[in-house]
A and B are shown apart, each in its own frame.
Chain A
Amino acid sequence: MSDSRQAVAPATTAATATMPMVRIAGVHKRYGDLHVLRGVDLDVQTGEVVCIIGPSGSGKTTLLRCINFLETYQEGRIWVDGQLVGYRERNGKLVPASEKEIARLRTETAMVFQQFNLFPHMTALQNVTFGPIKVRKVPKDVARQRGMELLARVGLANKADSYPAHLSGGQQQRVAIARALAMEPKVMLFDEVTSALDPELVGEVLAVMQDLAASHGVTMIVVTHEMLFAREAADRIVFMDQGIVIEQGPPAQVLDDPQSERLRAFLSRFRSA
């Protein structure tokens, strides 16, 4: 693995030792005339839990999707564990990486989606074991055993053979978290994972995430509107607005002592809601 990494990005390996797990530097993203990300800088350390908050349209989801290259970016650089995301650097210019390189890099980051996106034609257990078997080439019995452990961890061992259509939203999202964990990613990306859930199902998903955050085994970047979760689980909260990071710091500082007018306005809207 380390050999191929050096072959892919020789220029960045030297910096790996000092680099954070995720480094986002001066990233710009445009959809035609719409300038969604306007120069985002953000470092996330190994094992850190970072919650990104901000009004809708602030670019938080887009930023998250850039980290595993579900979205391309036009300027700047993103590194995950020292590897440049989506591009190779050649003479200071960005050249698109091959499909294989991008796919390999994506195995380092796992994503949990707002709409769960479980594979409907697979059981809960098959959803969890599919990535390890198909992509990581883990032997089936090993993957299955590990899959059952993960389903137990999210409290769904008894639903292993159920299809997603027969699970509640909260259960589906917990399976999706188990599916992401099964890839043993270095970074987990959570994209508003409770926004599509009925209010009474939000708690069970947040509990699983809180447990995950407390274990500090995996770096987590969480885009969320759940301020209580952010306060309790995050090591750091990042506030984004209009495509840039406005403010960041420990939860108490960001939520209780906002420095910028925009964050104050955002938080006040939240409290009145």
Chain B
Amino acid sequence: MEVVWESRELLWQGLEYTLRLFAVVIVLGTAIGILGGVGLLYGHAIIRALLRAYVDIIRGMPLIVTIFILFYGPVAYGINLSSFQSIALALAIFAGAHMSEIVRGAIATIPRGQIDAAKSLGLTFWPRLFSIVLPQALPLMIPPWTNLAVDIFKGTSLAVLVSQADFLFSVQKRASARGHYLAFYMSAMVVYFVCCFAISRAGAWLSRRTRIGLA
């Protein structure tokens, strides 16, 4: 274990990259998902069809394929994305597709009577969405959103394939430099577990916080 501790600075750099990637992806993916979920339910027929295709294609494809497409694809069209940008985009597109379905599903469970009541008070679409529908849908989204966040966090390790900076890459690099593969990978396991466990707990806490008044 001492060999691992000696490499802490390099490993920390890797973890920092991974955490930054995760933060960007979860924010972007959640934003895409909220727009996507609302669009899937209330959008124009053409928008709905396009979103449906996006969600189904991405969900039906291994994440690694999306990552490679975003890594090799744009360059072919003269668009230069950094490796961080391409992996972040790939993961955000992946997260957005799953999140869209989570948001759509949560909103769809809000009883029709809630909409009727809001309409009969004279509320138009957007205030209805923001004051009545989303506050009730949010608590339903948080548990699956937490699961998604955990999947995304583990998914950031796929960055090892296209970038040379994430946590897993730093572990790999130090392990091959120093030997002691088992010690390094066991440490990696602990770090990933601690992070994912923290995400789960944060999700559970958030879930309790948002359930005000909701049985």
Contact = CB atoms under 8 A, between A and B. Distances in A.
Interface of A: 68, 70, 99-100, 103-104, 106-107, 109-111, 113, 115, 117-123, 130-131, 134-135, 163-165, 179, 183
Interface of B: 111, 113-114, 116-125, 127, 131-132, 135-136, 212-215
A100 B117 CA distance: 16
A130 B114 CA distance: 14
A121 B135 CA distance: 7
Residues of B contacting A: mostly: helix
Contacts of B120: 68, 70, 106, 109-111
B184 to A, nearest CB: 48
Given A119-B136, A165-B215, 6 more contacts: A100-B124, A118-B117, A131-B121, A134-B121, A135-B121, A135-B122
B116 A113 contact: yes
B178 to A, nearest CB: 54
A100 B127 CA distance: 12
A135 B117 contact: no
A31 to B, nearest CB: 15
A113 B122 contact: no
Contact of B213 (A111, A117, A131, A165): A165
Nearest to A183: B121
B131 to A, nearest CB: 6
Given A113-B113, A165-B215, A120 B136 contact: yes
A183 B132 contact: no
B122 A106 contact: yes
A123 to B, nearest CB: 7
B123 A135 contact: yes
Nearest to A65: B116
Given A113-B116, A130-B131, A134-B131, A99 B125 contact: yes
Contact of B116 (A103, A117, A121): A117
B153 to A, nearest CB: 30
Contacts of B123: 103, 134-135
Contact of B136 (A99, A103, A121, A163): A121
29 contacts: A68-B119, A70-B116, A70-B119, A99-B124, A99-B125, A103-B122, A103-B123, A107-B122, A110-B121, A111-B116, A111-B117, A113-B117, A115-B111, A115-B113, A117-B111, A120-B215, A121-B135, A121-B136, A122-B213, A130-B121, A131-B121, A134-B121, A134-B123, A134-B127, A134-B131, A135-B121, A135-B122, A164-B213, A179-B121
Given A100-B124, A103-B122, A130-B131, A121 B117 contact: no
Nearest to A164: B213
Contacts of B215: 120, 165
A103 B113 CA distance: 16
Q: Which 10 pairs, one residue from A and one from B, show the smallest C-beta to C-beta distance?
A: A163-B213, A107-B122, A117-B117, A117-B113, A131-B121, A111-B120, A165-B215, A135-B122, A106-B122, A103-B122
A122 B114 CA distance: 12
B52 to A, nearest CB: 25
A109 B123 CA distance: 13
Contacts of A118: 117
From A70, A109, A110, A123, name the one whose CB has the most chain B CB atoms within 10 angstroms.
A70
A55 B112 CA distance: 24
Given A120-B136, A121-B136, A165-B215, A106 B113 contact: no
B144 to A, nearest CB: 19
